[in-house]
Amino acid sequence: MSELNEQGNVLLTLLADGEFHSGEKIGELLGVSRTSVNNYIKALQEIGLDIYKVTGKGYRSAVPIDLLNADKIKQLSKNKMVHVEQILDSTNQWLLDRIPNLQNGQSCISEYQLAGRGRRGRTWISPFASHLYFSFYWRFDSGIDKVSGLSLLVGIATVNALEKVGVQGVSLKWPNDLYYQGKKLAGILIELNAQATEACHTVIGIGINVRMPPEQAKLIDQPWIDLHHLTSASVDRNLLSATLINELQTLLPQYEQTGLQPYLSRWFDLDCFLNKTVNLLIAGKSKQGICRGINESGALLLECDGQVEAYIGGEISLRLAKL
């Protein structure tokens, strides 16, 4: 399933203006009964659209719906390899399924994910047309050794993009989260297709909370925030997508040549746990220490009893210690 049916699209287009539309008008437009109108409304609500009904007025989207536009993103980014879908299982999987027939810079962006995923197999809540579900392909000819600090570089690129569209004050949490004042704003998921002695194909997934519908917010079990609460102006997801593409296309070639070392100072400026007492969770065990940033390999530096140790790996989680 990659798109709504014809009647669903007609209803979506009608409600996108954020104004009231009567059930009678909608029924006439779709050529269906009032009961069927209710079913179509419920179908849109089930994929995360915040639509409500007022007796005597009809149905209305809580906010105007600004849909993704591939042509606009291509124009803004000057990159023609932009693929936009309404509904996908996963933007990362769409790219993974097309390796090795991809070129550097191919992106996939979706309005809704049926099976969006985060790090360590977690589900990523993906309401329709509310957030940014973005994936980007890059091939590292130098091999898999180059990608150990990739999620950190992508975090920096994402903060850069957010700053360029007017969002300030976002910080980074090792190894793959963006935070604002202790609340999660975005997450990064890097997936690889590689052999030890061959080129490394990477799919970079970035999920950013843009405007969280109230019903979807109830499904999240950690402190969160969205861009709607960070800026008085609405964030154009098309512009944000294009800006992300531009940042990644600028930083990734440099990173492949130099590694993470030139970006360390930028990470230290953005690290929300730097010099704070933290708990490092490894294989169900917790180790407490002081976060001292990262090294040029992307490893977390943890000071314990005066000694600084480096930690890196996919099954490690970092938490601020409760003192």
43 shares its domain with 83: no
pLDDT at 1 over 50: no
111 shares its domain with 219: yes
155 shares its domain with 221: yes
Taking residues 285-306, what's their average pLDDT? 95
Closest by Cα among 143, 156, 70 to 107: 70
Last residue of a domain, one of 268, 286, 303: 268
Taking residues 266-288, what's their average pLDDT? 94
pLDDT at 222 over 70: yes
Q: Which of 164, 184, 266, 287 is the catalytic position?
A: 184
Active site residue 319: yes
The total domain count for the chain is 3
* Positive/negative CA dihedral, 14, 94, 222, 184: negative
Whether residue 1 lies inside any domain: the answer is no
pLDDT at 279 over 50: yes
Active site residue 117: no
What pLDDT is attached to residue 168? 95
Active site residue 42: no
Q: Which of 119, 173, 237, 292 is the catalytic position?
A: 119
169 shares its domain with 245: yes
Distances (CA, A) of 128 to 12, 36, 166, 173, 209: 11, 21, 23, 27, 12
* pLDDT tier for residue 125 given thresholds of 50, 70 and 90: low
Q: Which residues pair with 21 in a beta bridge?
A: 59
Q: Which of 16-20, 45-49, 76-80, 296-300 has the lowest mean pLDDT?
A: 45-49
What is the extent of the structural domain holding 19? Answer: 6-61
Q: What is the pLDDT of residues 209-218, one digit of tens each?
A: 998 876 666 6
Query: Do residues 300 and 316 lie in contact, with contact meaning Cβ atoms separated by under 8 Å?
Result: yes
134 shares its domain with 195: yes
Helix, strand or coil, per DSSP, at residue 108: strand
Integer Cα distance of 95 and 211 in angstroms? 25
pLDDT at 21 over 80: yes
